[in-house]
């Protein structure tokens, strides 16, 4: 593995480990942007944007947009180079009143977020993380992030002796099978008290009363290289924090001469129809502030392009028949252009060709994914952002295995190569030359 690729992948793994929730991912991205000189522009304040400036804004602490304003070219004449991804991943979310005391064991009620693959959640060392809203001791409303880091919960499997058909068929009841065990005590346990103690211990917050929380369970096993030649990365939340990091790294590495933008939305896994999701107004409202004159904005968007980055299904060697024979991406063989005749992906021949040319300029191979004609196709933020903004869009992604599992697998070459293509894209003065 080259030193540049290895450095990239170790930084990716650090980012994944630091981002157990969309809130933490956005916090980590904002930190890295600020360290690189990007200025925070809160949505509640009046914006002053300068030529050559670099900025970012957030919404709900779980979605983020970062962008650069070209120093010389006018955006209506140059357009924007845009990269999109999403910050959320399928998981188990803690219910508002989760405390359960059953048979002398303390458990938490949970619900499934997104299309999670549930079997791998059993017998894992789980922790808790998320956002907590509270009143401080002065009575003011405040919010903070918590991450217990250490294993505090487990969902034990039922022994095969008590379910002899488990290896043939076991349907998972999300209400009764998934509540994790936190310990051998219950009764007087109150999660909000535990959260108050955690906020005070970790962040030094002066908490008067915890009002609400958005917590998820996550696997504490760290990201790791896997394979005889260390050619794979195993981690939680590769879909789609890998793309968030890849886009972020490309933006930070870009020269800043062209107008560049990175948008990472929350709630893609549940349809994106939220204030901070791709079907919501966050991106269009930001573009209205960046280019307040409608004529200028429409001119700029007509010269713009969006690369929507979301991981793709790599051919699983044990289930190769689940792919179309001519469109089965392989790990470590290059990023994938995702195509669907029914517009579940936004790619078309024009935008796919533009991506292929960018990749060829970087010496990066490109693959194509089309779902089998007898199977349903997933989707991404690409069609949603394209419909909201009118920007020509291509859907791409890194091939991976075990999508939506608690631990997923991708190739060590692919994210690095995609980042190279995205950096070239963000630095490109004209896509039509």
pLDDT at 184: 84
Residue 178 neighbours by CB under 8 Å, 6+ apart: 92, 110, 112, 118, 121, 155, 172
Residue 288 neighbours by CB under 8 Å, 6+ apart: 297
- Entry pTM: 0.96
Give the residue from 401, 116, 399, 394 showing the smallest Cα distance to 269. 116
* Residue 314 near residue 324, CB atoms below 8 Å: no
pLDDT at 433: 56
pLDDT at 187: 66
> Which tokens in the block code for residue 238?
């590769």
pLDDT at 258: 84
Query: Is residue 5 classed exposed, middle or buried when 0-12, 13-18 and 19+ CB atoms within 10 A define those classes?
Result: middle
> Which tokens in the block code for residue 215?
């917590």
pLDDT at 197: 93
pLDDT along the chain (433 residues), means of 10: 90 98 98 98 96 96 96 89 98 96 93 97 98 94 96 96 88 95 82 93 88 98 97 97 98 90 97 95 97 96 97 95 92 97 94 97 96 90 94 97 98 98 91 65
Rounded alpha-carbon distances, angstroms, from residue 96 to 21, 89, 253, 290:
17, 20, 41, 38
Question: Rounded CA gap, 274 and 175, in Å?
Answer: 25
> Which tokens in the block code for residue 112?
């499934």
pLDDT at 186: 62
Cβ density class 9-40: b for 16+ within 10 Å, e for less: beebbebbbebbbbbbbbbbbbebbeeeebee
* Residue 413 near residue 227, CB atoms below 8 Å: no
At 289, phi and psi to the nearest 5? -80, -35
């Amino acid at each position: 593995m080259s030193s540049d690729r290895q450095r990239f992948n170790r930084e990716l793994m650090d980012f994944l480990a630091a981002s157990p929730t969309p809130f933490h991912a956005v916090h980590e991205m904002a930190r890295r942007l600020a360290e690189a000189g990007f200025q925070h522009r809160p949505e509640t304040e009046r914006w002053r944007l300068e030529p050559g400036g670099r900025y970012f804004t957030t919404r709900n602490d779980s979605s983020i947009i970062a962008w650069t304003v070209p120093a010389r070219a006018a955006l209506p004449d140059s357009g924007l180079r845009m990269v999109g991804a999403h910050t959320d991943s399928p998981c188990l979310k803690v219910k508002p009143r989760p405390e359960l005391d059953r048979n002398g064991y303390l458990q938490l009620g949970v619900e499934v977020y997104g299309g999670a693959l549930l079997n791998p959640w059993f017998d894992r060392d789980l922790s808790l993380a998320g956002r907590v809203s509270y009143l401080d001791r002065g009575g003011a409303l405040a919010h903070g992030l918590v991450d217990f880091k250490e294993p505090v919960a487990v969902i034990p499997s039922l022994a095969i002796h008590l379910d002899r058909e488990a290896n043939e068929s076991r349907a998972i009841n999300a209400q009764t099978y998934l509540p994790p065990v936190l310990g051998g005590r219950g009764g007087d346990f109150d999660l909000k008290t535990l959260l108050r103690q955690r906020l005070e211990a970790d962040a030094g917050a002066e908490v008067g009363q915890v009002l609400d929380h958005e917590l998820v369970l996550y696997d504490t096993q760290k990201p790791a290289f896997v394979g005889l030649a260390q050619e794979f990365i195993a981690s939680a939340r590769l879909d789609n924090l890998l793309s968030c990091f890849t886009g972020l790294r490309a933006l930070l590495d870009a020269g800043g001469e062209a107008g560049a933008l990175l948008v990472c939305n929350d709630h893609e896994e549940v349809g994106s129809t939220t204030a901070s999701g791709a079907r919501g107004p966050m991106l269009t409202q930001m573009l209205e502030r960046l280019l307040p004159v409608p004529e200028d904005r429409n001119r700029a968007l007509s010269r713009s392009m969006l690369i929507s980055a979301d991981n793709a299904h790599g051919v699983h060697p044990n289930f190769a028949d689940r792919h179309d024979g001519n469109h089965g991406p392989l790990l470590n063989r290059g990023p994938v252009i995702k195509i669907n005749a029914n517009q579940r992906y936004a790619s078309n021949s024009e935008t796919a060709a533009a991506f292929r040319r960018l990749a060829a300029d970087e010496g990066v191979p490109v693959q194509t994914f089309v779902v089998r004609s007898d199977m349903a196709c997933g989707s991404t933020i690409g069609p949603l952002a394209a419909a909201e903004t009118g920007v020509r869009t291509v859907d791409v992604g890194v091939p991976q295995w075990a999508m939506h599992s608690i631990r997923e697998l991708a190739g060590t070459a692919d994210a690095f190569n995609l980042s190279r293509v995205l950096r070239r894209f963000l630095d490109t003065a004209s896509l039509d030359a």
